Amino acid sequence: MTESPTLMSAAGRPLPKRWLTVIAVIWGGQAVSMVTSYAAGYAAVWYITESTGSALALAVATICAYLPQGLLSPFGGVIADKYNRKTVMIAADLGIGLVSLALGIVILMGHVTFGLILIMVIVRSVGQSFHGPAMMAAMPLLVPEKHLLRINTMDQLLMSIASIGAPAFGIFLYTTLGFHSVMFLDFFGALVAVAGLALAKIPTVHDAATDNQHVLANMLDGWRALAATRGLVVLIVGITIGLMAFAPLSAVFPLMTYDHFNGDGYMASLVEATFGIGMIIGSVILMAWGGGRRLAGLMAVAALIVGATTSVCGLLTPQMFPAFAVLCAVMAMACAWFNGPLITLVQKNVPPEKTGRALGFTTAAIGLASPVGVALGGVLAEGIGIAPFFVVDGLVCIVLGAVIYLPKSVRALDCDKAATVRDGADETAAG
C-alpha cells in the first residue's frame, strides 16, 4: 500500500491535512473583526459629519486613514519578515482593539473630540500597515498553490460584504445605543480576530541574513527581491497608475448621480449598493474559477472592462440612470480581478522569507495611489465636468489595459515561476 503524497504549500513546505480548518479559523476571526471595524469606521464618519458638518474635516480623516498605511507598509514588511508573522498580526489586531476600547470609554465619559477620532483613524491605519504584509506573507505558507488566488480573493470578498452591511449596522448602533457601543463592539471584534490567530499554527520563516542589517538595508533587500522579477515592477507601476486614475471615481459617483442624472439620495445609495454587489459577484467568480494560469493577462482584461464601462457611463444621457447602475455593477465585477491576482503573482515570484517586504512595497504603492489620485482627479473633474471626466478616466484605463500586457517581462509572469523561486530559496538556505 503506497502512501499518499505529502500536500505542499505554495511556498513549497509540507501542509497538515487539516490546512483548510486552519484557514477557516483565521479568516473566521478576521471576518468578524472586519465587520466591526467597518461599522466603527462608518460611525466615526457619521460623528464627524454631525459634529462638524465640514467637508474638509472628512477629507482630513480620509487622508489619515490612507496615508500612514501607504508610508509605513514597507517598514511593516520588514517586521513581517524579521519576526514571527503570527505575533505581528496579533499585536496589530490587539493594538487597534485597545484603541477602540479606550475611545469607547472616553466617549462614554463625554470627552470625545475630533482630534481623538483622528488618533483612532491613524492608529488603525498604522496597525494595518503591519497586519497587511504579515497576513499576505503568511498565506503562501498555509495554502496549496492551486488555492492561493482563491484565499487572496477572500479578503476582498469579505471587505465587499462588510462594506454593504456594516455601515448600516454601525449607524443602527450609533443611533440606538450610542457611539461608544460601536467602539466596544469593535474591541470585541478585535478579540475574536486575535483568538482565531492564536488558535492557528502559522509556520515561521526567518531570513538570517537580515539579523544584523539596518532597517533601511532590510527594506532595500525587499525591493531587490521584487525588482529581480522585472515584470512585477512593470505590472505594479501600471496598476498604481490605473488606481490613481480610478480612485477619484469613488469620490465623484454621488456627484454623477446628483448632477448628471438629477438623482436623489436614494439613487446615490443604489449606485453604491450595485457597486458593492458587483464586487461580491466578481470576487465569487474569481474564487470559484481560480483565475486560470494567466493572471497578468486577466488584470489587463479587467482594466479594459473597467475603462470601457467608465467611458460609456460618461456618455449616457440624464434619462439613462438604470444603465448607469448596471454599468457600475459590471465595472465593480472587473475591479475585483486586480488585488487577488497581483498579490498572488508577488507571492509566487518572491522567496517566502522576503515576501513580507515585497508585499510591503506593493501595499505602499497602492495605498499612496488613492489619495494622490483623488487629489489630482478632483481638480480635473472640477475643470472639465463630471460626465467628461468619466470619459477621460475610462480612456486612460483602456490605454493602460491595452499596453500593460505588451512587455515580455509581464507576459512571463504567467509562466509557473513558483518552483524556480522555491528552488532558489532552498539553495540559499542550504548554502
Q: How confident is the model at residue 375 (pLDDT cuts 50, 70, 90)?
A: confident
Residue intervals of the chain classified under CATH 1.20.1250.20 are 11-200, 210-422
Cβ–Cβ contacts within 10 Å for residue 106, how many?
Answer: 16
The whole-number average pLDDT for the span 38-58 is: 81
- Could you tell me which residues come within 8 angstroms of residue 236 by beta carbon, excluding any fewer than 6 positions away? 226, 342, 361, 362, 365
Burial (CB count within 10 angstroms: exposed 0-12, middle 13-18, buried 19+), residue 268: middle
Sign for the CA dihedral angle at 72, 144, 301, 351 comes to positive
pLDDT, residue 209, reads 64
Tell me if 88 sits within 8 A of 130, measured CB to CB.
Answer: yes
pLDDT tens figures, 206-224 = 666 666 677 777 788 878 8
Residue 312 has pLDDT above 70, yes or no: yes
Q: What is the mean pLDDT of the chain?
A: 84
* Three-class SS state of 14: strand
Could you tell me how far CA 206 lies from the centroid of its own chain? 25
Residue 431 has pLDDT above 80, yes or no: no
pLDDT tens figures, 265-309 = 678 778 878 888 899 999 999 988 877 788 889 999 999 999 999
Structurally, what CATH architecture does the domain formed by 210-422 represent? Up-down Bundle (1.20)
Tell me if 50 sits within 8 A of 174, measured CB to CB.
Answer: no
Highest mean pLDDT among 62-71, 112-121, 197-206: 112-121
Domain covering 11-200 assigned CATH 3.40.50.1820 in the classification = no
Percentage of the chain lying above the pLDDT 70 cut: 93
